Amino acid sequence: MADFVFTYRDILEFLPHRYPFVLIDGVVSFCKEPPFIRAVKNVTLNEPYFQGHFPGEPVMPGVLILEALAQTGVIFFKNLYPEHKDRLFLLAGIDKARFRAPVFPGDVLYLELRGIKARRGIIKSTGKALVGEKVVAEAELLAGMR
């Protein structure tokens, strides 16, 4: 496993979420120029949503993959613009979302965002989720700052 640029403890400082809703285990790559972040989520059978999604055939819900991308986006933005580190970010929209393959317990989910635009309190970034080299989901994410 690669060394974390931001550990789980760092992530708890960047995100208002707590168990069971913190969906990022660490950040393995972060670059200010060009803007890029790569986070990791270790998908385990112990996740509470696997009890009902689906019994006997556990699959990570697509909406939670998008939420993990959104949480990665908050970490991304707060590190690019530290003057906003105490702001609350709320998911405002998801465009062009596509799910390419299921994610199962035991998978390591990599969450990547490239580029970020901020205008009038709205942040936009493009992200993708991968298992290995395979893209399993992608979307454009919008968030609002409070």
**How does residue 2 score in pLDDT terms, banded at 50, 70 and 90?**
low
Residues with catalytic annotation? 53
Distance between CA atoms of residues 86 and 78, nearest Å: 8
CB 64 within 8 A of CB 49: yes
> DSSP letter at 93?
E
pLDDT in tens, 29-50: 999 999 999 999 999 999 999 9
What whole-number distance in Å separates Cα of residue 122 and Cα of residue 127?
A: 16
Mean pLDDT of 12-25: 95
Query: Could you tell me the residue ranges of all domains in the chain?
Result: 8-145
Do the beta carbons of residue 131 and residue 108 sit within 8 Å? yes
3-state class of 115 per DSSP?
strand
Rounded Cα gap, residues 65 and 29, in angstroms: 19
**Which token pair is 52?**
């009902």
- pLDDT bin (cut points 50, 70, 90) of residue 5 is very high
Q: Is residue 4 pLDDT above 90, yes or no?
A: no
- Tell me what percent of the residues of the chain surpass a pLDDT of 70: 99
pLDDT at 133: 97
Point out the least confidently predicted range of 61-65, 77-81, 91-95, 116-120: 116-120
CATH number belonging to the domain at 8-145, selected among 3.10.129.10, 3.40.309.10, 3.40.50.2300, 3.40.50.150 = 3.10.129.10
Record the tokens describing residue 71, joined without a space.
């949480």
Write the pLDDT tens digit of every residue in 93-125.
Answer: 999 999 999 999 999 999 999 999 989 989 999
